[in-house]
Amino acid sequence: LGDRRLRRGGGDGDGGDGRDDPRDRLRKEREVQVWEWVDDLLEGFAEIYRVTVASGQSCNECVRRSAYPVKEQLVGTYDEVSRRVNGPTAQERAGQGQFQGAPTFA
């Protein structure tokens, strides 16, 4: 079976006689230049996409690692201030046994 290019006289459009047809060569150069241009353009878009995704993931990880501890500290501080200003909640007092007994109605 072998290589098809060898059976067709080289496969480079020269007809097997070793001479290049200028029209074929010009046509091939135009085709290659268009495809190289499109390939370069798509490679550029792919690189922009890769950089954008990597940047987004880095930003997400940074926010996750820094914002969660800050949020926990703020919520803890708010709860502590709320307890000092308003006193313990009814649930906390019930848990500590600070209620005098259930009211009864006669």
The average pLDDT across 49-76 equals 94
Q: Provide the CA 57 distance to its chain's centre, in angstroms.
A: 5
Please give the Cα distance from 20 to 10 (Å, whole number). Answer: 12
The pLDDT confidence band at residue 101, using thresholds 50, 70 and 90, is low
pLDDT digits (tens, 9 = 90+) for 26-55: 777 766 666 788 889 999 999 999 999 999
In degrees, rounded to 5, the angle at the alpha carbon of residue 23 between the alpha carbons of residues 18 and 27 is 110
Give the predicted TM-score (pTM) of the model: 0.42
Q: Which residue has the higher pLDDT, 7 or 47?
A: 47
Confidence at residue 99, expressed as pLDDT on a 0 to 100 scale: 60
